[in-house]
């Protein structure tokens, strides 16, 4: 392998830049050429390439988002689109690529490999932590810190006015952000898709909390939660059935995807980038780099895109105990 391409694809997340930097610098260290592709698979099809050397990635380790931009690309879902991408890579002399993204981006990489026997390695970048084969995805830790910081602020105003807040957080179909940030921010209840608490139990819990003398309450609601009501409907429901509360809603939204990556995400991204390039140079392919028990591991992409992450039951128990 003489030339490796790196790009970001799908939703952006903090730590992607640190991963790009790591891939580029590892290539420089190993004396392999490196080229960046802008706008994911769309840029691949259009030949939007830029040669990278160690100095091309100065001052990006601390930046959120992705300097290479990200894009969704419908063309790449077709055989014709992938043929165009292959032709562009060949023209540029690229022998392998590292894709930083989520499930969809990995599925595209796998198809591309099947059709052209092209070596590919994935690095999981998403704040949702919803990828099988790694305990942490890039951006998850940063998002948790962002959410906790914001909830601390909401708590200040909630306790000054004896209010109940429903705070909606991201996470797609999983509750990792909600559960971890909920415990970290001391939430009263945490509603996650993996365990439907039910409206009755929610009311009971809020009643108990009020009776125990708490001046305010914060309920974290994962966006994929299955209680059957969104945060605004939950507010109405509680106001109707439990008029002892003054209820407010806060939907945190896209701010959760931004910001400077945490130290944890920077370190993880640096480690994953090295592992990705080394794996390609060892002749490996179709693998995703992940971390488990603080060790880097490789999982077949075919498994990573099919598997489901599990919620930490022990952490759910901790959360229950904390709201005594
Ligand atoms: P996230 O969902 O976390 O934002 P992702 O990588 O899953 O990230 P997607 O939008 O699902 O994001 O996928 C990114 C790109 O990967 C798509 O725009 C498309 O170009 C390519 N892709 C996704 N699924 C396929 C597929 N089945 N076949 C070929 N390419 C695909």
Q: What's the pLDDT score for residue 160? A: 87
256-295 in b/e form (b: 16+ CB < 10 A) is: bbbbbbbebbbebbbbbbbbbbebbbeeebbbbbbbeeee
Q: How far is the CA of 202 from the centre of ligand 1 (A)?
A: 36
- Report the range of poorest mean pLDDT among 35-49, 161-175, 205-219, 303-317: 205-219
Q: Is the pLDDT of residue 235 over 90?
A: yes
Q: What secondary structure does DSSP assign to 79-132, as a single string?
A: HHHHHHHHHHHHHHT--EEEEEE-HHHHHHHHHHHHHH---EEEEEB-TT---T
Block residue for tokens 């419908």: 74
80 is in an annotated binding site: no
Atom number of ligand 1 nearest to Cα 12 = 4
pLDDT > 90 fraction of the chain, expressed in percent and rounded: 93
Q: Which of 65, 82, 106, 108 maximizes ligand 1 atoms within 8 Å of its Cβ, making it the mutation to test the pocket?
A: 108
Is 321 exposed, middle or buried (CB count within 10 Å of its CB: 0-12, 13-18, 19+)? exposed
The mean pLDDT of the chain is: 96
Find how far residue 244's CA is from the centre of its chain: 37
pLDDT > 70 fraction of the chain, expressed in percent and rounded: 100
Put simply, whether the predicted model's pTM sits higher than 0.90 gets the answer yes
Q: Is the pLDDT of residue 244 over 90?
A: no
Q: What's the pLDDT score for residue 213? A: 87
Going by CA atoms, what residue is nearest to atom 3 of ligand 1? 102
Q: How far is CA 140 from CA 31, 91, 175, 207, in A?
A: 32, 36, 12, 33
Q: Is the pLDDT of residue 165 over 90?
A: yes
Q: Is the pLDDT of residue 31 over 90?
A: yes
Residue 104 beta carbon below 6 angstroms from any ligand 1 atom: yes
φ and ψ at 47, to 5 degrees?
75, 35
Instruction: Give dist(CA 158, CA 172) in Å, integer.
Output: 26
Q: How far is the CA of 9 from the centre of ligand 1 (A)?
A: 7
Closest to 257 in 3D by CA, of 164, 148, 144: 144
Q: Is the pLDDT of residue 313 over 90?
A: yes
Averaged pLDDT for residues 247-275 = 98
Averaged pLDDT for residues 272-284 = 98
Averaged pLDDT for residues 217-227 = 95
Query: Roughly what angle, to the nearest 10 degrees, separates helices 140-160 and 176-185?
Result: 50
Q: What secondary structure does DSSP assign to 203-256, as a single string?
A: HHHHHHHHHTT-S-EEEEEETT--SS--HHHHHHHHHHH-TT-EEEEEE-GGGG
Going by CA atoms, what residue is nearest to atom 23 of ligand 1? 104
Q: Is the pLDDT of residue 155 over 90?
A: yes
Q: Is 128 a catalytic residue?
A: yes
Confidence class of residue 210 from pLDDT cuts 50, 70 and 90?
confident
Given the residues 12, 48, 128, 265, the one annotated as active site: 128
Q: How far is the CA of 247 from the centre of ligand 1 (A)?
A: 38
């Amino acid at each position: 392998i003489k030339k490796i391409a790196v790009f970001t694809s799908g939703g952006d997340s903090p730590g992607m830049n640190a991963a790009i930097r790591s891939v580029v610098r590892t290539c420089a260290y190993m004396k392999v050429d490196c080229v960046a592709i802008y706008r994911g698979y769309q840029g691949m099809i259009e030949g939007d390439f830029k040669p990278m050397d160690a100095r091309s990635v100065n001052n990006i380790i601390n930046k959120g988002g992705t300097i290479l931009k990200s894009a969704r690309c419908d063309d790449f879902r077709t055989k014709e689109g992938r043929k165009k991408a292959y032709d562009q890579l060949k023209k540029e002399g690229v022998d392998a690529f590292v894709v930083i993204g989520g499930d969809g981006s990995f599925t595209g990489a796998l198809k591309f490999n099947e059709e052209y026997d092209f070596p590919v390695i994935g690095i999981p970048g998403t704040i949702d932590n919803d990828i099988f084969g790694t305990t942490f995805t890039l951006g998850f830790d940063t998002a948790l810190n962002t959410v906790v910081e914001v909830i601390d602020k909401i708590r200040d105003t909630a306790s000054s006015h004896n209010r109940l807040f429903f705070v909606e957080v991201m996470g797609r179909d999983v509750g990792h952000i909600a559960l971890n940030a909920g415990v970290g921010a001391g939430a009263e209840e945490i509603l996650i898709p993996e365990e439907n608490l039910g409206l009755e139990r929610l009311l009971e819990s809020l009643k108990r909390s009020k009776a125990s003398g708490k001046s305010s309450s914060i309920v974290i609601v994962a966006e994929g939660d299955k209680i059957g009501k969104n945060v605004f409907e939950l507010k109405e429901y509680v106001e109707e059935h439990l008029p002892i509360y003054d209820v407010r809603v806060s939907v945190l939204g896209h701010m959760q995807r931004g910001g400077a990556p945490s130290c944890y995400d920077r370190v993880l991204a640096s480690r994953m980038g090295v592992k990705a390039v080394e794996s390609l140079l060892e002749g490996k392919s179709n693998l995703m780099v992940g971390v488990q028990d603080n060790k880097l591991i490789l999982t077949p992409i075919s498994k990573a895109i099919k598997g489901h992450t599990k919620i930490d039951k022990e952490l759910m128990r901790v959360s229950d105990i904390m709201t005594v």
